[in-house]
Amino acid sequence: MDNDAPISIAVFGLGHVGLTTALGFSDLGWNVIGVESDLAKMKLIQDGQVPFNEYGISDLLAKNLHSGRFSVTADIKEAVCNANILIMCVGTPQDTDGTADISQLQNLARKIGQNITSHKIVVQKSTAPVNTAAKLKEILLSNIQNSKGSNDELVDIVVIPEFLREGNALHDFFNPHRIVIGLDNFDLKDMLGCIYKPLLVKMGKNESEILIYTDISSAEISKHTANAFLATKISFVNMIADLCTKVGADVEDVARSIGMDPRIGSDFLKPGIGFGGSCLPKDLAAFIQVGKINSIDFSFLEEVNKINELRISNYINQVINVLGDLKEKTLGVWGLSFKPGTDDIRDSPAIRIVSELIKLKANLRVHDPYAITAFKEFIGVSDRIYYAESPSDATVGVNAILVLTDWVQYKEEDFKVIRNYVNDPLIFDGRNLFDPDLLTNEGFQYYGIGR
Identify the H or E element spanning 30.
none
Nearest one of 226, 170, 238, 227 to 199, comparing CA atoms: 170
Burial 250-266 (b: 16+ CB within 10 A, else e): bbbebbeebbeeeeeee
Euclidean distance between the first and the last CA atom of the chain, given in angstroms as a whole number: 59
**Calpha distance 451→445 (Å, rounded):** 13
Q: For the chain, what's the residue count?
A: 451
- What residues does each domain of the chain span? 8-214, 229-447
Same-fold call for 8-214 versus 229-447: yes
- E strands along 184-297, which residues? 211-214
Q: Cβ atoms within 10 A of the Cβ of 318, count? A: 16
Question: How far, in Å, are 49, 279, 306 from residue 310 at the CA level?
Answer: 39, 19, 6
Per-residue pLDDT of the chain in tens (451 residues, 90 and over written 9) = 555 568 999 999 999 999 999 999 999 999 999 999 999 999 999 999 999 999 999 999 999 999 999 999 999 999 999 999 999 999 999 998 889 999 999 999 999 999 999 999 999 999 999 999 999 999 999 999 865 667 778 999 999 999 999 999 999 999 999 999 999 999 999 999 999 999 999 999 999 999 999 999 999 999 999 999 999 999 999 999 999 999 999 999 999 999 999 999 999 999 999 999 999 999 999 999 999 999 999 999 999 999 999 999 999 999 999 999 999 999 999 999 999 999 999 999 999 999 999 999 999 999 999 999 999 999 988 999 999 999 999 999 999 999 999 999 999 999 999 999 999 999 999 999 999 999 999 999 999 999 9
Class of domain 229-447: alpha beta
Position 214, amino acid: T
**Catalytic pick among 81, 194, 244, 279:** 279
Identify the H or E element spanning 210.
helix 207-210
Please, which residues bridge with residue 249 across strands?
Answer: none
Question: How far, in Å, are 129, 284, 290 from residue 98 at the CA level?
Answer: 12, 9, 10
Question: Superfamily assignment of 8-214 in CATH?
Answer: NAD(P)-binding Rossmann-like Domain (3.40.50.720)
Q: Is 279 a catalytic residue?
A: yes
Nearest one of 439, 437, 345, 351 to 401, comparing CA atoms: 439
